[in-house]
Chain A
C-alpha cells in the first residue's frame, strides 16, 4: 500500500507536465522521464551496474582481442615449445599452456567464441520460440495450439543439457553443431513462456478492443501482445546468455563442443585439468573467465528484471 503512493504520485506528476507542455516536448520529456525511471530501477542495485560494466569490458576484449591481447598469434595453430608451460609472469600474465601459447590471449579469443556462440544461439532460438508461443497462445484450443504445444512438450520432456548432449553426440563435434544442439534443446522454453503470457493476455481488454476495431492478426500479435511478453522474455534472454555459455563450456569439456585449435574456454579447462595442480594457471584462469562472463550476465539479467519487472519492495 505504502508503495501505491509514489506510484500514483508519479502518474500524476507526468500528467501535470502534460498540461503545461506542448505535445512534442511532452512526448520527449515523457520518454526521457521513462528512460530515467527505468535506469533508476536498473541502477538501484549497484550489482547490475557492475554486471553491465563487466559485460562491456568482456565484449570489448572479445572484439578487440587481436589488438589488446599480448600474443595474438597464440590464438591460432601456433607452437612455441621453448616457452611451453610457463607460470604467470609479466610476459605472460596468465602463463602459457603446453604448446607455449599465451593463456590470457586464448581467453580473450575464447570470449570471442563463447559470446558469439551465445548470441547466435539465442538469436536463433528466441525468435523461433517466441513466434511459436505467440501463435499457439493466440489460437489457444485450436489445432494449431495443439500441434505446436505438443511438440514443445516433447522437447521439454528432458532436461535441455541431456538433449543437447544427445544431439551433439550424434553429430560430428564442432562449435557449429554444439550451437545447433543447444538451440534445438532450448527454444521450447521460450515457446512455453510466451504461450502462457499470450493465452492469458488473449482475454484482455486491449486485445479484444484491437480485434473489434478489426486490426489484423499480425498487428495484434506483434503490436498488442508481443510488447507485453517482452519483460519476461528480455530478462530470460539476458540470463540465458550466461547459461548458453555454461552449457557450451560443458559440451566442449566432454569434447563435443568447439574443437582445437579453437581457443574454447570449456576445452581449455578440460585439457588443462589433467595437469593440475602443477600447471594450475592453465585451468584456473579459463575457469575464472567462464565464471566471470556468466556472472556478468546474471547480474545484468537481474538488473533487467528489476527494470522491467513490476515494483517490488526495497
Chain B
C-alpha cells in the first residue's frame, strides 16, 4: 500500500511540475496558419493551394499582379511582346539577390523555365506546350519564344518562379531520371528553397509544418517601408482538423485558419472573441458537371430540365454569402460576361424541357449517378438536395460518396465518369480564358476539370483563336461569345462563385486578405509581406 501511495504522490508531483511550467512565450512577430498537406515548395512540382502560398513567399515571379490583376514590374522592370505575339522579352532589375547572396540573372530564369518544362509537374502545364525555348540574350534580358501566340502569357507568368541555378546545380544528384541533369535537384528543393523571395525556409517538417523566416535583406527596398509590421516568422501547419484549428485559434496559437473548414466550423470560429471571418473571391466556381456523352445526361433537354428543377435558393444557403454563379466564369474574373442567363427553380419549365427529352417515357429506367466529394462535407448536402429536387420531376438519383482521389481517377476515362460530378475549379491565369480552356477544351476531357466530355473540335478552335488574340477588347468579346454558346449547350450547372474564407485574429493582425482587398488570385491572396502582426496586442488579449 505504502509503495502505491508513493507512486501516486510521485506521479502527482510530475503532473504538477508539468502544469506549473507556464505556456511557451511567443517571440517576435509570428504568423501561424493552417493548410492542407501535401505541400511542395519546389516551383517545378508544387501547384496546389498550399504550395502556391509557399512559393510566393519563397520565390519571386517576373511580374506581380495588383488588385485588378494587372501585371506590375517585379523582377522584370519592363517587358515587350512582338507583333505576332510569339516573342516575349523581359528586362530584369539588376542587383536582385538570392537568399544565398548570389545575384539573380537571365541565366537563372532560363534555367528555371527549362527545369519546369522538363520535369513537367506543378504549373508546367501552363508552359510546357507553349514555350519552345528560353534565351538569356544578356545578363539582364531574357526572351521567351512561344510556339504560337498566347495572349494571357503575362497572367501565366504569375505561376512562374525563379530558382537559383548555381544552388540547384550544386545540389543535383546523378544519376536521375533527367539525363545529365540527374534528379534536377528535386531531392534538395523538396525541403529547401533556392529562391530570392521575402521569406526563406527555416524548417520543413513533412506532413507537419513549414517554418519560414523573414529574408532580412530582401532586394525590394520599399517593401520594408510599406509594411514594417510584417511577420518575422511564418509557420504553416499541415492540418485542417476542425477541433485543433478551433482550439488553437481560441488559445491565440493560430493567426488564421485554412479555407477548408465547414460552414458550421466557421460559424463556431466566428463566435470566438476577437476572431473574425474574412471572405473574398479567387475566381473559384462550383460546378455540377453533366456527362454529355452518357445517357440520360447526353440529351440537352434532359440537362435543361435538371437546370430548371434545381432549388438554387436552398443551394446558395449551403455557401453563405456566395453569389449564385452566372455562367462558366466567375464574375470577378476579367473577361466574364455579365449578361448571361441565371437559372432559377421553375418546375413548369423543367417539365416542358423534360417532355421534349427522348428519355421522358423511360425515366424510371435511369438513375443518375451523382458522385460527391468525400473530402468536402458540403457536397454531401448538395447531393442530398439535388436528389430530392430531381425526385419532384420524377428523375431518380443515386448519390455516391467518392474520395477526391477516386474522382480524379474516374474522370480519366469516359465510361467511368459519372453522370454528375460536383467539382470546383479555379483559373490558372487571371482571365476568363483560363477556365474556358481548362473546363471544356477536348484535351482537358480526361482530367477532373471536365466531366462533361464535350470533345467539340469547333469549341477548341474558338478558344484557341480567342487565346491567340493579343488585343484584350477583341479577346474578351470572343470570350463572351464562347460563354453564350456554353449556356445554350447547358453542359454544366453553374452553382455558386466560391468565396475563399479564413478565420483570423482580428484584434492583433491585419492584411489585405483580411480586409477583403486581397489580390484575387490563389497564393497571392495570402502573401505575408503585406500582412501585419502586432504581438503586443496579442499579449493584452492573452491576459
CA of A301 to CA of B206, assembled, Å: 44
B399, A273: Cβ atoms closer than 8 Å: no
Task: Mark each residue of chain B from 378 to 394: 1 if its CB lies under 8 Å from any CB of chain A, else 0.
Answer: 00110011011000000
Name the CB-closest residue of B to A276: B243
A172→B406 CA distance, assembly (Å): 9
Q: Which residues of B have CB within 8 Å of A275?
A: 242, 262, 264-265, 268
Chain B residues 173-231 with CB under 8 Å of chain A are none
Known: A274-B242, A275-B242. A260 touches B265 (CB 8 A): no
Interface centre among A78, A79, A99, A279 (most CB of B within 10 A): A79
Give the interface SS of chain B, mostly helix, strand, loop or mixed.
Answer: helix
Q: Is the CB of A274 within 8 A of B399?
A: no
CA distance A77 to B267 in the complex (A): 26
Determine the chain B residues whose CB is within 8 A of the CB of A38 once the complex forms: none
Within 8 A of A (CB), among B377-415: 377, 380-381, 384-385, 387-388, 399-401, 403, 406
A310 at the interface (CB under 8 A from B): no
Chain B contact patch, size range: 20 to 34
Interface 1/0 per residue, B76-112 and A, CB below 8 Å:
0000000000000000000000000000000000000
- CB pair B388–A255 under 8 Å, yes or no, is no
* A259 on interface, CB distance cutoff 8 Å: yes
Contact A99 B381 (CB under 8 A): yes
Q: Decide yes or no whether B339 CB sits under 8 A from chain A.
A: no
- Tell me if B374 is interfacial: C-beta within 8 Å of chain A: yes
Indicate if the CB atoms of A79 and B381 lie closer than 8 Å.
yes
Q: Are A99 and B265 in contact (CB under 8 A)?
A: no
Q: How many residues of A contact B (CB 8 A)?
A: 20
Contact: A81 with B314, CB < 8 Å? Answer: yes
When distances are taken between beta carbons in the complex, the residues of chain B under 8 Å from A274 are: 242-243, 262, 264-265, 377
Q: Which of A149-189 contact B (CB under 8 A)?
A: 172-173
Report whether B384 and A79 are in contact in the complex, using a CB–CB cutoff of 8 Å. Answer: yes
- Closest beta carbon of chain A to B389's beta carbon, Å: 10
- Please give me the residue from chain B that is nearest to A100 by CB atom: B384
Which residues of chain A from 263 to 303 have any CB-CB distance to chain B below 8 Å in the complex? 271, 273-276, 278-279
> How far is it, in angstroms, between the C-alpha of A11 and the C-alpha of B401 when the chains are bound?
62
**A97 CB to nearest B CB, Å:** 11
- Please encode chain A, from 26 to 52, with 1 for each CB lying within 8 Å of some chain B CB and 0 for all others: 000000000000000000000000000
Nearest CB of chain B from residue A239's CB, rounded to whole Å? 29
In the complex, chain B residues whose CB is within 8 Å of the CB of A98? 264, 377, 381
Check A273 against B243 for contact (C-beta < 8 Å): yes
How near does chain A come to B398, taking the closest CB pair, in angstroms? 9
The distance in angstroms between the C-alpha atoms of A261 and B398, with both chains bound, is: 11
Report the nearest A residue to B406, measured CB to CB: A172
The 4 A-B pairs with the shortest beta carbon distances in the complex, nearest first, are A274-B242, A79-B384, A275-B264, A259-B401
